[in-house]
Amino acid sequence: MSRQSNRTTDNKKMNSELFTLTYGALVTQLCKDYENGEEVNKQLDKMGYNIGVRLIEDFLARSSVGRCHDFRETADVIAKVAFKMYLGITPSVTNWSPAGDEFSLILESNPLVDFVELPDNHNTLIYSNLLCGALRGALEMVQMAVDVRFAQDTLRGDNVTEIRMKFIKRIEENLPADFAQHIRIGS
């Protein structure tokens, strides 16, 4: 019974404006702290990564998604389940590379940029770069090394916002050496 009520408070929806404005304040502060846009992008990516490695656990606890067997399945889960759950949007998955190791997420609307206008002196800033870090961090925790970057951004004058994802490799799970020894002791 108590578990049930926990679940409902868990899934409570929040107005995305609070999130959007907090994120805006964060980016503004980073722009003050670091002189060049590249460095801000790097910090956003790093913060996103740290968020992603924790967010994946929350995601797996809430959804009943199991292990993905190929990258196409991963793309579907990211677009249809994860983006929906955390940002309330469903990006479309397109531009598959022939090898199936690369695809794009097209965001029709990006809640992070709701009230944003980039001033001219920030042309290297990738405003929503936190998302890249979060995606990379989350996927790394499920044994996938993936390269994530913004290919297009409406904030910088493109027609759409496009996140490009490239599968690099599967991170193998290895038994540490001193464990192997313990298997022998145990047998």
Partner 1 sequence: MTVYNLYIFDRNGICLHYSEWNRKKQAGISKEEEFKLMYGMLFSIRSFVSKMSPLDMKDGFVSFQTSRYKLHYYETPTGIKVVMNTDLGVPNCRDVLHQIYSTVYVECIVKNPLCELGGTLQSELFSSRLDSFIRALPFFSVRAA
Which parts of this chain interact with partner 1 (CB under 8 A)? Answer: 3, 6-7, 53-54, 56-58, 60-62, 65-68, 141-143, 173, 175-176, 178-180, 182-183, 185-186
- Cβ at position 181, least distance to partner 1 in Å: 8
Residue 33 vs 58, nearer CB to partner 1: 58
- Cβ at position 35, least distance to partner 1 in Å: 28
- Cβ at position 123, least distance to partner 1 in Å: 33
Residue 115 vs 179, nearer CB to partner 1: 179
Angle at 82 between CA 117 and CA 151, to 5 degrees: 45
The residue among 147, 151, 149 whose CA lies nearest residue 139 is 147
CA 33 centroid distance within chain: 24
Residue 6 vs 94, nearer CB to partner 1: 6
Residue 65 vs 106, nearer CB to partner 1: 65
- Cβ at position 183, least distance to partner 1 in Å: 4
Q: Please name the residue that has the structure tokens 């107005």.
A: 15
The SS3 assignment for 109 reads coil
- Cβ at position 117, least distance to partner 1 in Å: 32
Q: Would you say 18 and 25 are in contact if contact means Cβ atoms under 8 Å apart?
A: no
Burial class of residue 18 (count of CB atoms within 10 Å of its CB; 0-12, 13-18, 19+): exposed
Residue 112 vs 138, nearer CB to partner 1: 138
Task: Using DSSP bridges, classify how beta strands 144-152 and 102-107 pair: parallel, antiparallel or unpaired.
Answer: unpaired
> Cβ of 162: how many Cβ atoms within 10 Å?
19
